[in-house]
Amino acid sequence: MNIYLVELIVFLLLALFVTIIFKVKKNHKLKLILFTLFIIFSVSISGTYLLEKPHVYIVSPEINLQINQYSEIKVPHTTYHMKDVTSSVKIIGTVDYNKVGTYKIEYEVPTIVGEYNVEQTINVVDSIKPTITLKGDKVYNLSYSAKYDELGFTVEDNSFEDLTQKVKISKEEITDTEYDIIYSVEDSSGNTAVERRKVLIVDDIAPVISINGSANMRILVNSTYTEKGATAIDEKDGDLSDKIEISGKVNTSKVGEYKIKYTVSDKSGNKAETTRKVVVYKESTNPSSSGTGVIYLTFDDGPSSSITPKILDILKEKNVKATFFVLNYNSSLEYLIKREYNEGHSIGIHGYSHVYSEIYKSDEAFMNNVTKLQKKIAATIGYSPTIIRFPGGSSNTVSKNYNKGIMSRLSKTVIDAGFRYYDWNVSSGDAGGAQTSAQVYNNVVNNLSKSRSNVVLMHDFGGNTKTLNALADIIDYGLENGYIFKPITKDTPMVTHHISN
């Protein structure tokens, strides 16, 4: 009931009673009854008024507050005798907002008859799960050749509890190339958090392409370029040579520099690329036809199964023709004589035998040694060579031990018999002083001269890797420095030593 209305009614009744009491002067009995009624009525009204309780509008007897998220409890709206008395309400009791727990407080409202208290329960709770933050990529590409190193994490919780040591890390295999790393943690209120990092095992290693033959080729204009391709090996996928794509063309009819590009990708898309440089060059008109600036590479004492095929490979790749002064060969090496001949090299006679004591014991023995091999070569390739290199050279003095003056005679005899003989003016030292490929290389290139024809003495006997390994560089040097390479033919001017026996 409206308290103001009550007050008004009380006032009006009071006024009415006072009026009636004064009007019924003579009836004392009635006066007494009315007065008694007035007293009773006044007391009951006053009692109701005095005993009315304030109204505290609490939301709920229990309030849940997240830990660390609340700093002050608001006093609930409170009325007393229809008036807003919120501002005079006091909070009794304390709450530790940083600690999970149940706290009791009271709202205390002052009234006419004393303090009126309303209880309130505050539950400080932690129902928020921790937060795990992963360092590094959530989807991590790991090279199959590498080991996974934990990338780390941070963990935060609203309770400010340090949960770092509580984080459990486990691994879950998904497929052969994929797994999850699971980070899980539980705070002291039982809130759990889980994070996952996906690790994808990837092949990020490109294949390796090796060019077959030389990566720096030189070929004579109007000759044939043969694409030898390349080999590609991938650590994971193995041999990918079939998948190599070759692009670029060599126009062999036009001098210039060409590039052949080899590209290949492995199954994971790692791409490898390499390039072969092919220089198409024109044989210079200067050096002159007299042979100046020409290099005649000569190989003695072959053929050998270990060295001769590889020398032929290099000569073929460089498109350089040379001369082989051969010794007797058995039938298993016939193919090398044929190959030398078929690939455009010259074949000369070194001798059926190389044994000085036998070949230089007489003029006849020497000539037989020459013609015996000549016939054998003719039987192998259908061509009879007429160029000779004397074992030990025409300047040898070892023949003195077996026949005095024989070299002076033979040098004429061979020519009378239709042969021409060739000594050398550049010695690679590969049968003597040179110990390494570098020494062979230097012995040759340091003694070349543009002002003459250069006959280079080398050997293709078995095991002569010094020369084999220097050959490509020697040829490159010659080509880059304007020399031309030719095989010795019967028309090549003789290069001879001074005869000393």
Residues forming the site for Zn ion (CB under 5 A) = 300-301, 391
By C-beta, is 240 or 359 nearer to Zn ion?
A: 359
CB nearer Zn ion, residue 158 or residue 396: 396
Least Å distance between CB 369 and Zn ion? 12
Q: End-to-end alpha-carbon separation of the chain, Å? A: 155
Phi, psi of 123 (to 5 degrees): -100, 115
Q: Which residue has the tokens 């009951």?
A: 44
Catalytic residue among 187, 301, 459, 460: 459
Task: CB nearer to Zn ion: give 353 or 447.
Answer: 353
Counting Cβ atoms within 10 Å, is residue 173 exposed (0-12), middle (13-18) or buried (19+)? exposed
**Minimal distance in Å, beta carbon 429 to Zn ion?**
14
- Measured from the CB atom, the residue of 280 and 327 that comes closer to Zn ion is 327
CA distance 422 to 490: 10
Half-sphere exposure in the Cβ direction for 216 (13 Å, CA): 7
Q: How far is the CB of 359 from Zn ion (least distance, A)?
A: 11
Query: Which residues make Cβ contacts (< 8 Å) with residue 247, sequence separation at least 6?
Result: 260, 261, 263
Active-site pick, 126, 157, 234, 300: 300
Specify the DSSP class assigned to residue 86.
G
Could you tell me if 460 and 304 are in contact, meaning their C-beta atoms sit under 8 angstroms apart? yes
Give whichever of 321 and 459 is closer to Zn ion, judged by the CB atom.
Answer: 459
Q: Shortest approach of Zn ion to residue 327 CB, angstroms?
A: 7
> Any idea how long the chain is?
501
Is 459 annotated in the active site?
Answer: yes
Crossing angle of helices 334-342/363-381, nearest 10°? 70
In the complex, what is the shortest distance from the CB of residue 431 to Zn ion, in angstroms, rounded to a whole number?
Answer: 7
DSSP-H helix ranges across 417-481: 437-445, 465-480
Residue nearest to Zn ion (CB): 300
User: Structure tokens of 498?
Assistant: 């001074």
The CA distance from 410 to 425, in Å, is 20
The letter for the amino acid at 444 is V
Q: Which is nearer to Zn ion, 300 or 317 (CB)?
A: 300
Contact 140, 152 (CB under 8 A): no
Min separation Cβ 423 and Zn ion, Å: 12
CB of 344 to Zn ion, least distance (A): 23
Which residue, 287 or 348, has its beta carbon nearer to Zn ion?
348
CB-wise, 301 or 423, nearer to Zn ion?
Answer: 301
Residue 378 — φ and ψ, nearest 5°? Answer: -60, -35
Q: What sign has the CA pseudo-torsion 361, 367, 371, 374?
A: positive
Which residues are CB-contacts of 418 (< 8 A; sequence separation ≥ 6)?
Answer: 386
Give least dist CB 289 to Zn ion, A: 29
Is 55 noted as a catalytic residue in this protein? no
CA-based angle 106:108:111, to the nearest 5? Answer: 155
**HEC profile of 264-332:** EECCCCCEEEEEEEEEEECCCCCCCCCCCCEEEEEEEEECCCCCHHHHHHHHHHHCCCCEEEEECCCHH
Catalytic positions are 300, 459
